[in-house]
Amino acid sequence: MSRLPEEEHLNKAFGWAARETSGVHSPFKFLRREKDVAFKVFYCEICHTDLHNGKNDWAQETANFIHFHILSSNVYPLVPGHEIVGQVTEVESKVEKLKVGDKVGVGCMVGFCHSGDNCTNNLENYCPKLIATYGGKYYDRTVTYGGFANTMVVDDHFIIRIPHNLPLDAPDLHIRVIGLGGIGHLAIKFDKAMRAKVTVISTSINKKKAALENLSVDSFFAVNGTLDGIIDTVSAQHPLLPLLGLLKTHGKLVLFGALEKPLELPTFPLLQGKSLWKIIEGSLIRGIRETQEMIDYAVKQSIKPNIEIIPIDYVNTAIELLLKVDVKCQFVIDIGNMLKPTS
C-alpha cells in the first residue's frame, strides 16, 4: 500500500460522539479498519439525520421498515456524519480508481451484499443488507463510525471522486438565502442549472425576496394545477393535501423530509377532484453511480451550497439551531483544521 509519509497509525481515530439519547456530543477515541481506502477528513456537514440519530428519535418509526436501517441508530457511542470530504492517504493494492492525494467524499453507505439484483444494477441503496456509514455494523460485527472524526476507512466502491479543481469548502458562499434549508436551496440550484422553471412554496412571506433575487426562482407561490413536480424538503409536520392540489394531472410529489411522526394523507381526494391522479414518492439516498454523476454535474454547472464553516466544539450549538429551524445555510464542521486529539 502507498501512504503519505506523515500519516501513521491510520487505525487510530478520534472524533466527537453522542453517548446516549440526549444527543450531546463529546470527544471520543476509537479504531478504524485497516484496509480498502483511508482518507483524512477535512470537512463534514451536519444533517438533520445526525441530530435525530444522536437522540435515537427514529428507533420506533424505523423498526418495521427493512430499508430504514440506514436511518436507525441505537449504538452508542455514536459518531455521526454522512456528508464527508477529505484527501486519500492510503489505498489497498487492488484499488485502481483512486490514488494517494485524491480528493474524495463519502455519503450514507459503506457496505452492501454485492450479489442481489439491486447491487448488481447500481441500486445498492436498496440493498436489504446495506451498511450505514455510522451506527451500523460491518460483516465482522464491528461498529461503523461517521465523519465527525479525523479519518475514514471505506470500501473503494463507496468513494465518490471529487475533481481536483473543486474546493472542498466554499467560504464565500455563506448565508446567501434567508430561511431556505440545506436540501431545498440545492434542489433549486440543480433545477435552475437544468433550465427548469422553478417555483418556491413557503409559509413565510419574508423569504420571497431572497428566493426571487438570490436564487433566481421564477415565482414564489403557485396556482392550483400548474406544477409538474414538487420537491418537498420540509422536516416539520405539514399537510400534504394543499401540495397535491398544486400539481397537474399525473404530477409528482417527492418527499425528502424525514419526520418523526407520520404525515396525514386523506385518500378520498386522490380518487376524485383536484388531487386526482397524483403520484407521491419518497427519496432518501441514491446509488453510487448516480451520486458520482450528480457531483460531476455540480462541478460542470458550478453548483455550490450555501454553508457556514464551524469548529467541532460548536457542534452541539449547531444541532440545537437545526432543531429550532433557525438556520440559513448548511453547517459544515472544519475537521481538518479544528479537530484536535484530547487526552
Q: What is the pLDDT of residues 151-190, one digit of tens each?
A: 999 999 999 998 877 665 544 322 222 234 556 656 666 5
Nearest to 181 by CA among 331, 328, 332: 328
* pLDDT, mean of residues 13-38: 88
User: Cβ distance 54 to 18 under 8 Å?
Assistant: yes
Residue 19 binned pLDDT confidence (cut-offs 50, 70, 90): very high
**Residue 67's pLDDT is what?**
46
Three-state secondary-structure class, residue 8: coil
Within the chain, all domains assigned CATH 3.40.50.720 are found at 177-282
Q: Are strands 103-106 and 160-162 parallel, antiparallel or unpaired?
A: antiparallel
**Residue 81's pLDDT is what?**
94
pLDDT at 220 over 70: no
Nearest to 75 by CA among 139, 23, 13, 136: 136
Within the chain, all domains assigned CATH 3.90.180.10 are found at 2-172+307-338
Q: What's the CATH code, domain 177-282? A: 3.40.50.720
> What pTM does this model have?
0.75
Residue type for position 118: N
CB atoms under 10 Å from CB of 198, counted, come to 19
Q: What is the pLDDT of residues 58-88, one digit of tens each?
A: 766 655 554 445 555 567 899 999 999 999 9
Of all helices (H) and strands (E), which one includes residue 227? Answer: strand 227-232
- Phi and psi at residue 182, to the nearest 5°: -60, -50
Long-range contacts of 293-296 (CB under 8 A, 24+ apart): 294/190, 295/105, 295/160, 295/161, 295/162, 296/163
Dist CA 160 CA 296 (whole Å): 10
Of the two residues 325 and 97, the one the predictor is more confident about is: 97
pLDDT at 283 over 80: no
* pLDDT, mean of residues 213-231: 68
pLDDT at 92 over 80: yes
* Beta-bridge partner residues of 77: none
pLDDT at 40 over 90: yes
* pLDDT, mean of residues 193-203: 60
For residue 218, give Cα distances in angstroms to 177, 244, 290.
15, 20, 27
Of the two residues 303 and 29, the one the predictor is more confident about is: 29
Q: Tell me the residue ranges of DSSP E strands in 129-211.
A: 131-132, 151-154, 160-162
**Residue 313's pLDDT is what?**
92
User: Cβ distance 86 to 40 under 8 Å?
Assistant: yes
Q: What's the CATH code, domain 2-172+307-338? A: 3.90.180.10
**Residue 90's pLDDT is what?**
92
* pLDDT, mean of residues 112-131: 87
* pLDDT, mean of residues 130-157: 90
Dist CA 84 CA 335 (whole Å): 10
pLDDT at 145 over 90: yes
User: Cβ distance 91 to 100 under 8 Å?
Assistant: yes
**Residue 179's pLDDT is what?**
31
